Amino acid sequence: MTEEKLTYDEAFQELDEIHSSLVKGEVPVDVLAEKLKRTAFLVNYCKDKLQGADRDVSAIISEMEQDNGKTNTNI
């Protein structure tokens, strides 16, 4: 898939819009496959963003714990 400049919120909003249109039966059969491909892209994009955020948060917490441990041993 092509690289896109999307935020997580934009991707999630687009997923929500696609979902709503599918539930309401507003997606013509002629574009259904295109919408499903876009949905797969957006789901993977959001998943990657969440995993990246999780890694970042874990690294920050780990760093804070290490810094806290250093501070506590110097008391």
Residue 68, judged by CB atoms within 10 A of its CB (0-12, 13-18, 19+), counts as: exposed
Virtual torsion, Cα 7, 11, 14, 15, nearest 10 deg: -160
Q: List pLDDT tens digits, range 17-61.
A: 999 999 999 999 999 999 999 999 999 999 999 999 999 999 999
pLDDT of residue 71: 64
Name 74's Cβ contacts closer than 8 Å, sequence gap at least 6.
none
In single-letter form, the type of residue at position 75 comes to I
Q: What's this model's pTM, rounded to 2 decimal places? A: 0.77
Give the model confidence (pLDDT) of 54-74 as tens digits: 999 999 999 998 888 776 555
User: What is the structure's pLDDT at 1?
Assistant: 44
* pLDDT recorded at residue 23: 95
Predicted pLDDT of residue 10: 97
**Tally of CB atoms within 10 A around 45:** 19
